[in-house]
Structure 1
Amino acid sequence: MATGFPPGNNKRAHGAFHERRAEDYLRTQGLQPVARNYQCKLGEIDLIMRQGDTLVFVEVRYRQSRQFGGAAVSVTGAKQQRLRRAALSYLHMKGLNEAHQPCRFDLVACDGDQINWIPNAF
């Protein structure tokens, strides 16, 4: 397991831990944080970052191993739709228009200690 991993079996703490890992990693890649855990009735977005003019909606997934396909394959089509709807809600709330605000959806797949960043994942 990753160093600094929270003790116990608290799913929320595990999720927050890996979201922090992902955010720290993306910062080293030049992205700037905008928001964490944006929630609306349509879904949740783990991280919202900015890279240049582009708003980046980030889904963070964790799996202990790749035995059953790993973290990347765990993002289903239904999950992608919920993320898209939540992103539209965020844009609307901020008074932004998806036609004029460049956006993309990235995935940070954490498999054990390994971090795999997939820009423009879907």
Structure 2
Amino acid sequence: ITDENEEEIVHDLPEDEFFVSIAPFFNETHPCKDHSLTGCQGELVDQEFNILIKDKDGKTIVEEMMNSEANGFVDLWLPRDETFDISIEAEEEGRKVEAEISTFKEDGTCITTLQLL
């Protein structure tokens, strides 16, 4: 990461966790594989979502209300090398999406395919 003084800052990433950034959308999205902290912009800014993520054994990994950031994304750290069932709901609009995501080495960190219907 480069700070405001153009100095590079290096952060070690956890070996057992995987960063994923999700931009749920109603109408507009963009294709993306690896999230760009400065270039990706999602449709739903500062939107509240009810997020439920379970592993393949049915164990709840995340169950909470979360707000998207100014870039329209919700950022999560999930266990690495697993497949999950995810449910995202925008309660006020009565819209929901359910999907499967995974956190293997070849998986992208940017998910922009989850349309709330």
Could you say which TM-score interval applies, normalised by the shorter chain? 0.3 to 0.5
Which structure dedicates a bigger proportion of its chain to helix?
A: 1
Query: Which structure exhibits the higher relative contact order, with contacts defined as CA atoms closer than 8 Å and separated by 6 or more residues?
Result: 2
TM-score between both structures, scaled by the size of structure 2: 0.33
